[in-house]
Amino acid sequence: MAINVNIDIMMARRKISAGELSERIGITPANLSILKNNKARAIRFSTLEALCRELGCQPGDILSFEEE
């Protein structure tokens, strides 16, 4: 997929575990795992907003575009 989700990098920078993050943003650990592993087809603005809020970052820090 051309869009990469870099949550794990931000999580490592903020020193936050997957379980804690999923609890804070209100999604299941399984869904967070789908996001982390780039398996997601789409991301809701509400989820992106919660991620940015909890990780203290911009959407561009979480998502990146890569030529296939």
35 vs 55, beta carbon nearer other proteins:
35
- Its sign, for the CA torsion 8, 34, 58, 27, is negative
Q: Whole-number minimum distance, CB 26 to other proteins, in Å?
A: 11
Cα 41 to Cα 12, 15, 30, 37: the distances in Å are: 24, 26, 15, 11
Interface residue list for other proteins (CB under 8 A):
27, 31-32, 34-35, 39-44, 47
Q: Whole-number minimum distance, CB 47 to other proteins, in Å?
A: 5
18 vs 40, beta carbon nearer other proteins:
40
